[in-house]
Each structure stands twice: as C-alpha cells, then as structure tokens.
Structure 1
Amino acid sequence: MKRFAVVVGTAVLGLSALTACGGGDEQPAAAVNNASQSAEGKLATAQVGNFGKVVVDGTGRTLYVFDKDTADPSKSNCAGECAAKWPPVLAGSGTPKLDGVDASLVGTVARADGSKQVTLAGLPLYQFAQDSKAGDAKGQAVGGIWWVVGADGKKITAEVSSGSGDGYGY
C-alpha cells in the first residue's frame, strides 16, 4: 500500500509541475521523474546482463516496454495495480539529459490519469518495482509481455536464464 501511495503522490507532483509549466501534446520528453524519483532527468544506456546495451534511468535502473501499449499512436495501457508494480517513467519539467539515446526518439504521451509518460520510439517506458538496483532486469519477459528496451526503441526479447519477476505480467 505504501508503494501505491508513493506512485500516486509522485504522479500528483509530476502533474503539478507540468501544469505550472504548461506544455502541449507529443512534445520532446521533459525530464524523467518516475515514482522513485531516481531518474535524475536522464535516459542513458548501460550493459545489463546478457541483453547488451539497454535504456536505463539516471541511476542505472533498467527501463521496460509493455506489449499491450501502442507506439502509433502512443498509448499506455498500464494503470492501477499494473502501474504500482510497473511504475511509469513520468515526464517532469525541462529536457532530459541523454547519453546514448537518440533525442528524436524521445517523447511523451498523456496517461489516463492526466500525467505525461516518457516514450521511446513511441512506446511508453516503465520501471519494474522488483528491480532494486542498477543492473537488475528482473522484469525481463514477465508474462511474455514486458521487455527491456534498446537505445533504438526496440524491445529486446531475449529470455533470462533464471526466474524473472514472479508473475507481474498484465
């Protein structure tokens, strides 16, 4: 329940920042400000497991895409309990620092709750709540619908050798 409260509180703060700064639809992404507030306004790439270079936030936490989302048009289909387990990477104010990620692929999409979520090649980005540190990729292939993502915005569908995620597919 605490985690849900943190996600909701962060979403409200992110929305407040967006409202104060104004903004339109489908603009280049603003600073990354996710539920753990650990992204530090940065998207980068890092070597994670046997997946090669994947997209991570400013603290090195692995980011994911969801097969039930769409890229054209961008749409997030993970809300409620799903978003508590797969916190969306929310857009704040400003422009994110990018390291190894093409700025032309970074954007935002409006979520059902009114907040803005960062996208890569049109696909909304998420963290996995069970990833506790940089380099974790416990969310890879959960439910056969959650995937780490490369800097080109394409999902990486390699399976992990050990158990991943404990069934938080949606």
Structure 2
Amino acid sequence: MRARMGLLAAPLLLLSLAACGNEAQPASQQEQAPEQAAVKVAQTDLGPILVDQAGRTLYAFTKDENKSSACDADCIAVWPALTSTSKVESGDGVDSNLLSATEQTQAVYGKWPLYYYVGDAVAGDLNGQGVDEKWFAVAPDGKLVKKES
C-alpha cells in the first residue's frame, strides 16, 4: 500500500514543481513559443511597424545575417525571439511572402529574425528602438526603421 501511495504522489509532486517553475519565469520567456503566433502592422510614432498578435513591438538585430540569428544566450535573455510551434500567421498589412521561420521556429521577416525587448512593458512600447544602434523596429517592407520615436 505504501508503495502505491508513493507512485501516486510522485506525478502530483512533479506537476506541482513544474507549475511553480513556470511562474518563476519572466512573462516574456513564458510567452516565447505560443502555439499560434501572428505578425501584423501597427501605426506608431515611428510610422507603420511590425508587431505581434498582442500589439507588442518586434525588433531586428543588425548583426543577424541570412535569416540566421546571431543573438547568443545572454542576448536572448534581453531580446527574446518571436517563436511559434506552428506556422506564424500574417496579419493586416504584412507581406506574407516576407514571413517565414528558422529551423528553431523563430519568426523571420524578409532577412530579419524577429525579437521582443524585455524593456517593453505593454503593447505599443518602443523602448528597444535604436538600442546600441543595433536594434530596430521593422517596417512592413522588411527594412529597418532607423528613426527615433
């Protein structure tokens, strides 16, 4: 009987630990891989730019080349990638011919892998714009927006 109780308790303990571990992660990391991500265009102080389905600004890193991310683990901690477990949907204003994904499921627009900035607290924030002169919002034509908001 004692062995059976241990067998029943183990899965419950694992579920509890997994749930606690998820709560400890920053929101940006918890939301990195939605089952269905979408990219759309929003009008901002920078002009029209790419945002995700919730209106959060998407950025590109000037060191990325050939649709491949140059963002290492320290970089990803500050600039989480827009990823999806299925095909990223194109929303209003997005050229679906420019939207693709890497083998690691990161969304790519034109030649630019797409990222969030942890300093953006809510939809519409543009705090990552121009950071280190390497991070910029992306326009619907796939070019970087290099002006200030």
Pairing 1:72-87 to 2, within 5 Å after superposition: 73-87=66-80
Structure 2 SS opposite 1:81: helix
* Gaps in structure 2 of 5+ consecutive residues: 1-23
Is the counterpart of residue 57 in structure 1 residue 49 in structure 2?
A: no
The Cα shift of 1:95 comes to 4.8
Distance 2:112 2:88 in 1: 18
In 2, are the aligned partners of 1:44 and 1:55 still within 8 Å (CA)?
A: yes
Using structure 2 for the length normalisation, give the TM-score. Answer: 0.76
Mapped partners of 2:144, 2:38: distance in 1: 19
Return the alpha-carbon distance in structure 1 between the equivalents of residues 105 and 137 of structure 2. 21
**Which residue type is aligned with residue 58 of structure 2?**
L
Number of the residue aligned with 1:27: none
Q: Take 2:91 and 2:122, find their aligned partners in 1: how far apart are those partners?
A: 20
More helix by share: 2
TM-score, normalising length: structure 1? 0.67
In structure 2, the partner of 1:35 is 32
Q: Is the 8 A contact 2:84 2:107 kept in 1?
A: yes
RMSD, matched Cα = 2.2
Q: 1:2: which partner in 2?
A: 25
The equivalent residue for 1:137 is 126
Task: Report the CA distance shift for 1:60/1:123 in structure 2 as closer, same or farther (over 3 A).
Answer: same
| C-alpha distance in structure 2 between counterparts of 1:60 and 1:106, whole Å | 17
Question: Alpha carbons of 1:127 and 1:95: their partners in 2 closer, same or farther (altered >3 Å)?
Answer: closer
Task: Give the ranges of 4+ consecutive aligned residues of structure 1 lying more than 4 Å apart after TM superposition.
Answer: none
Number of matched residues?
Answer: 126
Letter in 2 for 1:3: P
SS in 2 for 1:74: coil
Percent of aligned pairs with the same amino acid: 33
Aligned partners of 2:88 and 2:107 also within 8 Å = no
Query: Computing the radius of gyration over CA atoms, which structure comes out larger, 1 or 2?
Result: 2
Is 1:158 the counterpart of 2:141 in the alignment? no
TM superposition shift of 1:116:
1.7
Pick one of 44, 50, 56 that aligns with 1:48. 44
Q: CA deviation at 1:40?
A: 5.4
CA distance in structure 1 between the partners assigned to 2:142 and 2:72 by the alignment: 22
Alpha-carbon distance in 1 for matches of 2:106, 2:36: 15
Q: What amino acid does structure 2 have at the position aligned with 1:132?
A: A
Distance in 1 (alpha carbons) for counterparts of 2:67 and 2:148: 26
* Superposed CA offset, 1:116-140 (max 9, x none): 2110002100010110111100000
The answer for unaligned runs of 5 or more in structure 1 is 11-33, 161-170
